[in-house]
Amino acid sequence: MAVDADELPRLLLIDDDPSSLRLAAGILGSDYTLIFATCGRDALDLVAETPELILLDYQLPDIDGLEVCRRFKADPASADIPVIFITADQDPVLEAAGLEAGAVDFVTKPYSAAVLRARVRTHILLKRKTDLLARLAHLDGLTNVANRRSFDQILEKEWRRAQRSGRPVSLVMIDADHFKDVNDAWGHQMGDECLRGIAHLAASQIRRPADLLARYGGEEFVLLLPETDAHGARQLAEAIRAGIESGFAQPAKQGEGPALTASLGCATLIPSPGDRPETLVQLADRNLYLAKSNGRNRVEPAEDTP
Ligand SMILES: Nc1nc2c(ncn2[C@@H]2O[C@H](COP(=O)(O)OP(=O)(O)OP(=O)(O)O)[C@@H](O)[C@H]2O)c(=O)[nH]1
């Protein structure tokens, strides 16, 4: 497999027999970074090192290999890591139980080095393709920020978290002004460049890992700001508005371009049990409408409200 030596895929090898581990290491060691575990308990700890694939022996001294596999699959942090069982006997009942437990494949001892290499490589490639597809499914193709589907899912999650914590959650809606005129005067491609510029500028303003910028649709973006009060949301919205007005969202390669501005609507709520996240979106949308009708290139509410 053509891989960068600095980025060798990580494999977790779980076997209580040191000679089996040595054998597998001799076959796989030059293509992969290997992590070793000799019992189930160590394996359950070491999976935190995010291997891309797990080779798991059936017989372990403490926790049965099948049970280890089930626990990997039950934990969202490790559920997507493919597991290949290594087994000494070719027992179809055991094989079926392993597949039931979530394994993707089987290798029977004694195995051929070429077969082990090929199976590992196949499952690593499949895992990488699956990961890539999962990432793409959550990204907006034009601007590379999160898409609407991703926003909807994360909003639900953050809303529930805010309901539990009693902390505020804020939302900022950003809508380019007179964008139809931008497209009409400068062409659709320039319009696309401007949308990329707005996304880039807004992304550069967010500071916390939990903040999420998403393209809500068309020329509209949303910023989800967990644990952020109305003052914090307004400050961020104002920084984005000012940045766009100052030309920082302009397509860089153009000497001149459309004079871009945007209107922004903010909303902040501390959700009670039973409240729905759509309420937050509606409130931000109402304030965005207010920003448009009050002259555009502005943030609403214009002042902090108690
Ligand atoms: N270039 C480009 N334009 C888009 C895209 N998505 C939506 N638009 C355009 O954005 C424009 C939005 O127009 P309107 O909803 O009338 O709003 P507006 O002209 O921005 O006016 P206000 O929002 O009232 O300031 C439409 O012309 C859409 O075609 C896109 O992906 N690329």
Q: What is the pLDDT of residues 93-133, one digit of tens each?
A: 999 999 999 999 999 999 999 999 999 999 999 999 999 99
Decide if pLDDT at 56 tops 90: yes
Q: What is the pLDDT of residues 121-171, one digit of tens each?
A: 999 999 999 999 998 999 999 999 999 999 999 999 999 999 999 999 999
Sheet-wide strand order for 299-300? 212-217, 220-226, 169-176, 262-269, 299-300
Tokens for 130, please give them: 């699956």
Among residues 52, 158, 219, 300, the one annotated as catalytic is 219
Q: Which residue has the higher pLDDT, 253 or 240?
A: 240
Ligand 1 atom having least distance to the Cα of 217: 6
Count the residues in the chain: 306
Decide if pLDDT at 2 tops 60: no
Provide the pLDDT for residue 254: 54
Ligand 1 atom having least distance to the Cα of 194: 1
Query: How many angstroms separate the CA atoms of 157 and 257, rounded?
Result: 39
3-state SS assignment for residue 183: helix
Tokens for 39, please give them: 């019992």
- The answer to whether 219 is a known catalytic residue is yes
Name the closest-CA residue to atom 21, ligand 1: 178
**Mean pLDDT on 241-245:** 96
Q: How far is the CA of 214 from the centre of ligand 1 (A)?
A: 16
pTM of the model: 0.78
Report in angstroms the alpha-carbon separations of 102 from 26, 53, 227.
27, 13, 37
Q: Kindly tell me the sign of the dihedral angle through the C-alpha atoms of 223, 227, 233, 235.
A: negative
Strands (E), 131-211: 169-176
Domains along the chain?
5-136 (3.40.50.2300), 148-300 (3.30.70.270)
